[in-house]
Structure 1
């Protein structure tokens, strides 16, 4: 990953930032959501969702959003810092690492060149869409599922990974899957996640608790404050790798295509990201999709032969 390492990175919490004379970036406290009539993206019409994974066709051209990033001289990427293998802080080095981190670096290299700077913002699950709407980040690379509800609020790239919701439990648990064995049990999921949406549709009689980040659910499981966690199996596999006292049970009960999310107004950035993904899928250099998969995910999610094929709008 020699090329990837050339990109300078900084981690910031989700907060307002300002540039100072030496080029560094500092933070202020998070602002309240934008008021009605403020700079908010247009909403897609309800009820017109047929294939949410179909994205804008790729282009290497620069438009207003890409030029804004170039003028600023750094890309702001919303990521996770708590998901092992995907976006997490390496305790040995203090650096952010993972599959999503590598992908964000690839975006920065394409827009700003090999020495381009990327600023990472750690964002809770339920703040991903507000962060884009309030323009606190340029894009979100954070195991974010593309679905019909979300494309009304944000724009997505083509899918770069496919996962599914599954149940994580302590070893020896009587829970066997996303089924009636959850009745009367305490189930934890991240607020604003697909897991929360599925539990709203069908809780199987469980008592549901939501938390800001899915890793908080693992902590509750470890402390005996929850009996099961509902989350993407791609994330849960990493949690099971961290803690061998927990395991996945049953089969995935949803299909979760992950995409890079952007502000609805930034169509040129969506096309640019899709252009990057076209090359990334080919894996023609040391930072391609298969290289990243083998480095970060294969140990816990083996048997995957390649990324999902892109879908484009007609």
Structure 2
């Protein structure tokens, strides 16, 4: 009887030890996973600066002020809020100018941590990047010379539309033109100032991009038509595998939307 009790005690002790090891292993595994995720944020902290791709040619969103030489705008302020969340200081952010064509590759090769550059959220893009909750929604607008006398897309049948390279604008207008039974020609150019210059010189008949962007380029000789197409939402993009960074970015956007800070920035930059 005594011998049986000894064996039972030994067996119970082994079970307890195994359970303890299993628990420790699980805890270690979880900690290791969290450490891997935390490395994304730690790398930014070790560097001491958040690298962000922004537009420098979109007044009110991301624009290099020729008078001050500083990049300013709604998305600039938004990026500073992310830097403050991660580094505790909104000034610890490094901006790099991007276009619709370059923002993806720069994010892919790690030259920048995130993109806040009127980047519309699409199902196709979500396959390659993480996107924050949307912070703005806009549709494609059409900027034309008043002298053209156009009042709708239908009046642009056979005309040449200036669009940014790699933007979703061309595809959206091609689909709309097909619905309306009209034909459009396209000239894909590198940046918005270049498209506006092409419109001014008569090389294109229309400058097409999100209407909020066009508001920064309208002048006394041009007009934005009432038409709006393919409304899409803007989000901050980060690399697909940078899940922890994406989580922090989204927290910032969510908090700013809830607190009303996003609305304050819209008012500050007079975004229509």
Instruction: Output one character per residue of 1:47-93: Cα deviation in whole Å (capped at 9) or x when no partner.
Output: xxxxxxxxxxxxxxx72221111111100000011111111111221
Name 1:189's counterpart in structure 2.
163
Aligned residue in 2 for 1:25 = none
Is 1:123 the equivalent of 2:76?
no
Structure 1 position 246, deviation (Å): 1.4
Q: Superposed, which structure 2 residues align to 1:75-90 within 5 Å?
A: 75-90=50-65
Q: What displacement does 1:235 show?
A: 0.3
Q: Distance in 1 between matches of 2:143 and 2:130?
A: 30
User: In the aligned structure 2, how far is the partner of 1:116 from the partner of 1:89?
Assistant: 17
- The structure with the larger Rg is 2
> Partner residue of 2:204?
226
Distance 1:90 1:283, change over 3 A: farther
SS at match of 1:125: coil
Whole-angstrom distance in 1 between the partners of 2:99 and 2:134: 21
Please tell me whether residue 293 in structure 1 is matched to residue 266 in structure 2: yes
CA–CA distance in structure 1, aligned partners of residues 44 and 264 of structure 2: 27
Aligned to 2:256: 280
Superposition deviation, residue 116 in structure 1:
4.8
Task: Provide structure 1 residue ranges, at least 5 long, that are not aligned to the other structure.
Answer: 1-61, 302-314
Flag the 1:261–1:68 CA change in 2: closer, same or farther, 3 A: same
Aligned to 2:145: 170
- RMSD over equivalenced CA pairs, Å: 1.6
Aligned residue among 187, 194, 201 for 2:175: 201
| Matched residue SS, 1:175 | coil
Does 2:45 correspond to 1:70? yes
Q: Which residue of 2 aligns with 1:137?
A: 112
- The normalised TM-score by structure 2 is 0.81
Q: What's the TM-score once normalised by structure 1's chain length?
A: 0.70
C-alpha deviations, 1:147-179, integer Å up to 9, x for none?
01111111111101001011111113233223x
Q: Tell me the CA shift for residue 254 of structure 1.
A: 1.2
Runs of 4+ in 1 over 4 A off after TM superposition: none
Counterpart contact for 1:77–1:138, Cα < 8 Å: yes
Distance 1:142 1:244 in 2: 27
- Counterpart contact for 1:99–1:297, Cα < 8 Å: no
Distance 1:79 1:297, change over 3 A: same
Contact 2:172-2:229 within 8 A present in 1 as well: no
